[in-house]
Amino acid sequence: MSKDLSNYRKSYEKQELLESNCPENPMELFQTWFRNADDSEMVDETNAMNIATIGADGFPKNRIVLLKKFTWEGFIFYTNYNSEKGKAIEDNNNICLSFFWPALEQQIIIKGIAEKQAENLSDGYFESRPDGSKLGAWASNQSTVVASRNELEESLASFENDFRGKEIIRPKHWGGYLVKPISIEFWQGRPNRLHDRIRYHLAEDFSWKIERLAP
């Protein structure tokens, strides 16, 4: 099977990113870009982000997860701590997050340090989830091999029975991570492949150094 993609091209001409428009703190710019994307009817699931980790086999692995909150401190998502992703973070908590909004010709690349959230914060978010999602966190041993779809359905039915008429509490193996950024790059598509790339890098005094990167 072969398909030549060499003629696939697009000219990026929608917006620009100049240093004069960059605030001192990258989280302020992230908030602006995120809100613009979220308000756009052309962007679906604005909070879908790619997370890259390094596994025990030495290979990087990317997957899409959902950003659930961002603060001045960083970016928060939730997962099964016993999953392949969770085990990779336990061994090496240097990770990379990225957002790509093609309709806006924008991407954001974040290098950061992942830390488990306090249990009470994970409890609070878990309580806000629909019951089906709560039960799913119990029913699925994420990243393990299962014999069939039926095995998953039977596991879910078992936990539905166990929790019938009871509060569905958060399993201890499930919770949140806060990713504290050390580098955030904002990429804006521009004509002739001369894209705008502005990178914020955290300095030793905890100020942010702003640099333009060649495209």
Lowest-pLDDT range, 6-20, 63-77, 85-99, 150-164?
6-20
What band does 103 get if pLDDT is binned at 50, 70 and 90?
very high
Predicted confidence (pLDDT) per residue in 2-54, tens digit: 887 778 888 888 899 999 999 999 999 999 999 999 999 999 999 999 999 99
pLDDT, position 37: 98
Q: Is the pTM of this model over 0.85?
A: yes
Predicted confidence (pLDDT) per residue in 168-180, tens digit: 999 999 999 999 9
As beta bridge partners, residue 111 has 96, 183
Residue 156 burial (C-beta neighbours within 10 Å; 0-12, 13-18, 19+): middle
Residues with a catalytic annotation lie at 193
What band does 108 get if pLDDT is binned at 50, 70 and 90?
very high
Mean pLDDT of the chain: 95
Q: Which CATH fold would you assign to the domain 19-133+175-213? A: Pnp Oxidase; Chain A (2.30.110)
Q: What is the separation of C-alpha 148 from the centre of its chain, rounded to a whole number of angstroms?
A: 28
pLDDT, position 5: 76
